[in-house]
Chain A
Amino acid sequence: MIRSDNLTKFYGTNQALHGLSFRVRRGEIVGLVGKNGAGKSTALKILSGQMLPSAGEVFIDGISVSVDPRAVRARIGYLPEVAPLYREMTVEGYLKFAARLRNVEAGALAAHIEEVTKQTGLSDVIGERLGHLSKGYQQRVGIAQALVHQPPVILLDEPMAGLDPLQIVQIRDLIVSLRKRHTVLFSSHILSEITQVCDRVILIDKGKVRAEGAEAELRRQATRPRQLSLLVRGSEKNLNDALRNVPGLREVSRAKQQQGQWRVRLTVQEDAREKLSKACLEAGLGLLELRGEHDGLEDLFLELLEADPS
């Protein structure tokens, strides 16, 4: 549905994209992740037909952005980093204007507006002026304008930036609700949010794809050992037996705590939580706590970014 072939973009002498290539299949929700300046927004601007690439080609629904930008723009809904809202307009007036710009016929306008306001939870503020809305509602209106003509492809640039935790959850649920009906590509810095919403993640750095796949696939590509934190109750002998029975563990620290409890920190190449918990129970230990430490997505992405691309 979305195809980026060897996309290159220069801003003067500064090269923002270095042959960016990826695919997004119909009905997928894909997250574009990368550091500031990685080229996420530039890629989305080119995909939305807002700017042209210096080299390379983009196809939306099989149509080249360079050859027929107008047809491509009719097939996308785009939310930039700052929602493009005319503050003096009402929500209804704005959505009508956006729908008419995207060739929605006058007769179908009311149905489109009703559906999108229900979908984005804007029914209560339909008559409000955009300038009077909260940041969360403004972001919803921004998403609504991208959806109002029911395009097959939705492009969202940092849709959760600047929102409070409750608003992030609401926007996340909204994006999830788009699954199957639309193909969604969105960028975000909030990595945990991206993996909760996306089928796949594309990690870009310095204008190139560095890794892509589902979260589990990306984890498999990571080689850095993970840390586990274990809290058990029992004798030290039983603890040693349990640890010995799990291959690949390396003990980092051990501390005896009150009431016969032991806090042990371990490193491990693969996720060994299941094996370790079983070993503890078989050794007669009381398993009080077992959790992964410092194996967050941020670390995973940093590791992938630090890896030599060649």
Chain B
Amino acid sequence: MRNILLIAQREFRGYFATFSGYAILAAHLLLSGLLFNIYAVGSRAKFSQRVIEDFFYTASGMAMVTAILLAVRLIAEERQTQTLVLLRTSPVSEREIVWGKFLSTLAFFAITLLLSVYLPALVFVHGKVSLAQIFAGYLGLFLLGAACIAIALLASAWCGTQLMAGAGAGVMVTLLLVAWMAARVSEEPLKGLLNYLALHNQHFVPISRGLLNLKDVVYYLAVTVFFLECAVRSLESWRWRE
């Protein structure tokens, strides 16, 4: 655990020591604000609950993109700058490297989410909002982001460059997003499986409405751990492949 925290701490500080961390944070907040005004609030009268639901819908898209952008650099950048060798020749396991990097990005991602809390809070000015819905929605965004960070981390371990890693993560996330479409033209039991695998439709939409089910939380945790362990295996295999 000590090594995980040590690596996480260094990575987390790295976001604040470079331009890219601030740039992603600023872009996330700016676009979230614009989408909130254009799509969630809009020009027509809406119930507050619907405004919050629409906000989380757009915020989930932003969360996925931001999570990928934050995470693609984690291993690919170190490969490009040849700094990963410091970790790989230290008495640190691949699992500690992957989890340390994951936690740092998750912490930075959580900050970007927290900084956007003022958007749903604005609804309080003219309407009545369920705090439970906001809490559930943010928990959903956090879990969705964690899953996307894990997916991007695997892509970062697989690909030699950040650009390739970004494209790889984008493809994997998109495939998981559209799994529900494939489910519509499939037969059971594949239909049920594809529906369950769908990253957003089956699991996030209920959360954005304030319906927090344990099965959805378990789904996101399972996806996160699965992709992180794949990244661990990928890094371990480097010792043989290189």
**Is B a genuine binding partner of A?**
yes
Interface residues in chain A, defined as those with a beta carbon under 8 Å from any beta carbon in chain B: 45, 48-52, 70-71, 73-74, 76, 78, 80, 82, 84-89, 97-98, 100-103, 145
The answer on a CB contact under 8 Å between B82 and A51 is no
Within 8 A of A (CB), among B70-104: 81-93
**Chain A residue at smallest Cβ distance from B5:** A100
A7 CB to nearest chain B CB (Å): 15
Selecting from B10-18, B128-136, B182-190, B217-225, the interface stretch reads B10-18
Once the chains are docked, how many angstroms separate the CA of A53 from the CA of B105?
Answer: 34
Chain A residues whose CB sits within 8 angstroms of the CB of B37 once the complex forms: none
Once the chains are docked, how many angstroms separate the CA of A86 from the CA of B86?
Answer: 10
A-B CB contact pairs (8 Å), 29 listed? A45-B242, A49-B89, A50-B88, A50-B89, A50-B242, A51-B238, A70-B91, A73-B89, A73-B90, A73-B92, A74-B91, A78-B85, A80-B82, A82-B82, A84-B82, A84-B84, A84-B86, A86-B14, A86-B83, A87-B81, A98-B86, A98-B90, A101-B3, A101-B6, A101-B90, A101-B91, A102-B90, A102-B91, A103-B91
Q: A-side binding surface: helix, strand, loop or mixed?
A: loop
State which of A48, A52, A88 has its C-beta within 8 Å of the C-beta of B89. A48
Q: B-side binding surface: helix, strand, loop or mixed?
A: helix
State which of A71, A84, A97 has its C-beta within 8 Å of the C-beta of B6. A97
Once the chains are docked, how many angstroms separate the CA of A97 from the CA of B5?
Answer: 11
**Chain A residue at smallest Cβ distance from B82:** A82
Q: How large is the interface on B (under 10, 10 to 19, 20 to 34, 35 or more residues)?
A: 20 to 34
Given contacts A51-B239, A101-B3, contact A86 B89 (CB under 8 A): no
- CB-CB contacts of B155-172 with A at 8 A, as 1s and 0s? 000000000000000000
Once the chains are docked, how many angstroms separate the CA of A36 from the CA of B223?
Answer: 45
Once the chains are docked, how many angstroms separate the CA of A76 from the CA of B88?
Answer: 12
A310 CB to nearest chain B CB (Å): 31
Chain A residues whose CB sits within 8 angstroms of the CB of B93 once the complex forms: 70
Say whether B240 faces chain A, with CB atoms less than 8 Å apart: yes
Taking each of A48, A52, A89, A101, which has the highest tally of chain B beta carbons within 10 Å of its own beta carbon? A101
